[in-house]
Structure 1
């Protein structure tokens, strides 16, 4: 049975965000736009995406103006392609997947995906966008060994097989897999998506199959590329915003290469969204991104030098930012951070030391460490009591949330913690009151930090004093991100501190990959993740029952057909985490300051995260 109806129903659920197309919509020309461009009716798709701002509680804007914002490094200019958040399908503020660049999509049996682009849609340079651009990506880039020697990316593979790809007409393509592929649509909605479309009319000039060999040779020589393939890869830049000649579908486009300290991103005159008053989005003509020392950005934001700032601002900056509001004419909104925890202590379950490995995998030991932490005190001391003490897990904003996931084994109960440690057999202590391990070594835990967040170091200082009460001695050890990773790879890392789960607001439709041992860049179970990523050639096969079950559940999610099936899988994954305390989270829901100066339609309450969220993207920066 086709699931098309389910998806269409999802579109109706999103009606609060989009208005129905109307032939009566009177389009208005954008003031100040280049007069040599075609009129707005010719620049827009025949069925543009019409945004009902009133239904979202926002105002119909007046076109013009700019956003000034500060970035800590030149390469952060790529964030324009994150914040713009034009995606084939994207998340709305209800975390529903809805068409955006696409006019619609149909899904049959979880494995047949038909994508409909908008008739008349154009790239930022005015060339048509449609099925050919998706075909070029699939057939001429990711299926070409010279350009993609690693083969098709994982989201296009199901049980080792790629899809059958078809062009049905100028605006319609179809991907068909033999089995369900629930990874496909969520991948397209990421803050850094795979961009399964490319401007074929532009990139064909650099492809051996289509381009002039002499022209390709000259262009390759200019950029010191050895052949056509590295030249093509240099030109193919949908994300980093380095190639100013690369056409785009985003609301703002980089068209100048005149500075690496001040980047001016200009409105895309062919952008596909309009408001109900017939005005083409984005409202703002430009986004200006200026490079500044990251440590100075809070002070510069306080001085009123930014219209919109969240990057390089932290919870600890809120007090200072609030003080400068009246004098410098801005407001400080406090959005909810979407991480599963602001701070998470991660025992390395694949540590090489056999005594530590057995101890860290003993559920009672992790429970004791968790019960030995006064999270309420940490919340009061570090976050003014504004966070939520508890585990590293999904937040209340997630439809998968259950209160017990946050609270289980997370209360402060040193008596119970001590009893659990005694039960394990760690009853002997040295003269300092530190318990002794089974081999006689003192129970001294080295927790490595990346040195990137002072709040993590501050939290560890507090936890050090708390763990003394249960006979556990902790030594925080400053390190670096790369060194921590290397020590995890070698099995030397015992425990680390990091931010919690990146996605604390998942729905059943989002892959649970962060919550299961399938990636080798996780310090809590590097060897298991590496085993999965390398197909058993590296790392270690999971030999701990909870980890084995998590991998089974992930594999079940990858072949699931319905949201109900996926929700059941997610529930068991989250229950395992709550029961096992795999991560020792401290406080979640910590606020992210967002400085807003002279802008409207920026929400005072919002979510701030990478996936899903794209920082400002989910709140639609083109409507600011």
Structure 2
């Protein structure tokens, strides 16, 4: 299902059932939102605002106009529009194939040489040209400027510690060349967090000491209580956070106001690079309005009809109240499967500092016993209304890498076998309550720490405590602040952590298996191994379990090849390694993500997969194609 478009090592510029045809060859329809500005010559007509070769969406969607109201729990969370508006140099389509987006053409030679060609006439939202200079400015003047980027260029742009050779071939063409393959380069560009390897140079040069008077910039920085020109530049260079309305954007909507505010308004980008087959410029919607609200009120506000679109901040537990208000308030609740490895995962800390627990957590028999001691059917019924998928923390069936047997390997309910394994380890002594004793005489009481933000996790742990008691294991739940939890994990103070499973459970072979190897400290199963890899041996501990070392070896194999067959083989072995070793104990996957959609608002599929990575929440389903139908009476709402 998910294939990668390649011919002789080249990614071609086919796109999403999109046609790229010259804008001037078709009749263009000016958005009414800009009609007054065009009439007053404050804005060029649409034919002059589009690239010569825009992306053309086929078939067409709907009508121009209208606002969409949504909610955010705090002002800072307006930044998530950068994820789900999903405008990228190269992005995933609905089949998870990589396609050019902002780029007109992309050439990939064996994952070593990447040539990007921009669209002639493409402009930023302020009308300034989007050219190769914006890539050069980022690479030379931002990424490699130690005052602006103390850590240097992003790590994903390094291969064996070496940066690529960057070339500007002409005004519209740039090239990145590595000596060895860098297969994660394109997936990183298509990810939920755009790394932004280009910048609005015409705007930002005014705040860069190389192009403007440094003394004047430093003085302006002091006025804003900043330390230097570099701090001023970084505050204004804000592609992700959406705090600078003056910063030009290539996204479908641009922010118009700043905090403090209880309402944030995004207006359509007059120079956006997509049109439909009838000559209408996307996005169809004029404005996205984000109201700040307490997260505990999201479902109630949706139930009261106060939103047009809402997904982030809702969970499966909100479904009953959402369904209750549908008919009276004129909306529907879409239920999309959440493509996560598991909704509740248990992470035995292989790096915990307590020597007794450390030895136990590292024994695969112990991890398998805990897994076999969980009644996932009961969890499924209690937590997911029986609609979930029981088993390991692994990829979902929609992934081309899915293997059915890996979902259930060591992940069925077998308390007899679980008890046998615990006995085999030597945990045969019990106290009067039937709880097994550790070798040093302590109760086998596992303190499972969690950030307490998910009621599903806490409720699930309560049930697991009952299951484990049957095999002589005691469980104590310890909720706490997420920052405190992470710091305890990094320090090796946790014994076990409960959280969600793999973020990307619908990978394809071209996606880097970083999350599946012990190389990130934010994985609660191996924080110190992750520290060691991330700091290149300065902190943490080296991986010292052969099966985990194999995961690192496989990751290195993936990183050093452009061969898709080899990459798939790597993924296959890594997934089996996880199922066999139970590094993370999965329970039940397939929670449903509620998406509230006002009646008359069209453009989203009734059923699709929801995830952070790779779908960028609803990003790959193109929110710029959402529209109000005329019957809704909102298509021209201002």
1:19 partner SS: strand
Structure 2 residue aligned with 1:504 = 505
1:477 partner SS: strand
Q: Shift in Å at residue 462 of structure 1?
A: 0.4
CA distance in 2, matches of 1:179, 1:281: 39
Structure 2 residue aligned with 1:618 = 620
Structure 1 residue aligned with 2:399 = 398
> Which residues in structure 2 correspond to 1:521-532 (within 5 Å)?
521-532=522-533
1:5 partner SS: coil
Check 1:608–1:29 CA distance in 2 against 1; reply closer, same or farther (3 A cut). same
Structure 1 residue aligned with 2:635 = none
CA distance in 1, matches of 2:163, 2:206: 27
Structure 2 residue aligned with 1:327 = 328
CA contact (8 A) 1:434 1:472 kept: yes
CA contact (8 A) 2:72 2:293 kept: yes
2:601 partner SS: coil
What does the per-residue CA deviation read over 1:346-398, in whole Å, with 9 as the maximum and x for residues that have no partner?
11011112221111111111111111101011110111111111111111121
Structure 2 residue aligned with 1:182 = 183
Structure 1 residue aligned with 2:21 = 21
CA contact (8 A) 1:10 1:96 kept: no
Alignment match of 1:600 (pick from 599, 602, 608): 602
1:608 partner SS: coil
Number of equivalent positions: 615
Q: Shift in Å at residue 10 of structure 1?
A: 6.1
Structure 2 residue aligned with 1:282 = 283
Structure 2 residue aligned with 1:76 = 77
CA contact (8 A) 2:75 2:259 kept: no
Structure 2 residue aligned with 1:46 = 52
CA distance in 1, matches of 2:12, 2:456: 40
Q: Shift in Å at residue 136 of structure 1?
A: 0.4
> Which residues in structure 2 correspond to 1:114-263 (within 5 Å)?
114-213=115-214, 215-257=216-258, 260-263=261-264
Q: Shift in Å at residue 227 of structure 1?
A: 2.0
**2:427 equivalent to 1:421:** no
Q: Shift in Å at residue 195 of structure 1?
A: 0.5
Check 1:257–1:450 CA distance in 2 against 1; reply closer, same or farther (3 A cut). closer
**2:357 equivalent to 1:356:** yes
Give the root-mean-square deviation of aligned CA atoms. 1.5
CA contact (8 A) 1:391 1:406 kept: yes
CA distance in 2, matches of 1:404, 1:439: 38
Q: Shift in Å at residue 212 of structure 1?
A: 3.2
What does the per-residue CA deviation read over 1:422-451, in whole Å, with 9 as the maximum and x for residues that have no partner?
222222211111112223322111101111
CA contact (8 A) 1:308 1:594 kept: yes
1:98 partner SS: strand
What does the per-residue CA deviation read over 1:497-538, in whole Å, with 9 as the maximum and x for residues that have no partner?
001111111111111111111111222111100000111111
CA distance in 1, matches of 2:10, 2:331: 41
Q: Shift in Å at residue 9 of structure 1?
A: 6.5
Q: Which runs of 5+ in 2 are unaligned?
A: 627-638
CA contact (8 A) 1:142 1:151 kept: yes
Runs of 4+, deviation exceeding 3 Å: 6-12, 212-215
Q: Shift in Å at residue 86 of structure 1?
A: 0.5
2:117 partner SS: strand
CA distance in 1, matches of 2:249, 2:226: 24
> Which residues in structure 2 correspond to 1:50-129 (within 5 Å)?
50-52=56-58, 54=59, 60-129=61-130
CA distance in 1, matches of 2:248, 2:75: 20
Structure 2 residue aligned with 1:533 = 534
TM-score, structure 2 as length reference? 0.94
2:19 partner SS: coil
Q: Which runs of 5+ in 1 are unaligned?
A: none
CA distance in 2, matches of 1:604, 1:218: 54
CA distance in 2, matches of 1:121, 1:70: 32
CA contact (8 A) 1:519 1:529 kept: yes
CA contact (8 A) 1:347 1:583 kept: yes
Q: Shift in Å at residue 60 of structure 1?
A: 2.0
Q: Shift in Å at residue 467 of structure 1?
A: 0.4
What does the per-residue CA deviation read over 1:126-172, in whole Å, with 9 as the maximum and x for residues that have no partner?
00001000110001100111111211211110000001100000000
Q: Shift in Å at residue 622 of structure 1?
A: 0.1
TM-score, structure 1 as length reference? 0.96
Structure 1 residue aligned with 2:590 = 589
Q: Shift in Å at residue 258 of structure 1?
A: 7.3
CA contact (8 A) 1:398 1:506 kept: yes
Structure 2 residue aligned with 1:546 = 547
CA contact (8 A) 1:556 1:569 kept: yes
Structure 2 residue aligned with 1:5 = 7
CA distance in 1, matches of 2:6, 2:215: 48
CA distance in 2, matches of 1:563, 1:26: 42
> Which residues in structure 2 correspond to 1:259-274 (within 5 Å)?
260-274=261-275
Greater mean deviation of Cα atoms: 285-294 or 607-616:
607-616
CA contact (8 A) 2:391 2:408 kept: yes
CA distance in 1, matches of 2:442, 2:257: 62
CA distance in 1, matches of 2:52, 2:68: 29
CA contact (8 A) 2:9 2:109 kept: no
**2:514 equivalent to 1:513:** yes
CA distance in 2, matches of 1:256, 1:154: 33
> Which residues in structure 2 correspond to 1:432-581 (within 5 Å)?
432-581=433-582
CA distance in 2, matches of 1:495, 1:306: 39
CA contact (8 A) 1:69 1:289 kept: yes
**2:54 equivalent to 1:37:** no
CA distance in 1, matches of 2:531, 2:601: 46
CA distance in 1, matches of 2:485, 2:446: 15
Q: Shift in Å at residue 265 of structure 1?
A: 0.2
1:475 partner SS: strand
1:334 partner SS: strand
CA distance in 2, matches of 1:610, 1:485: 20
Q: Shift in Å at residue 19 of structure 1?
A: 2.1
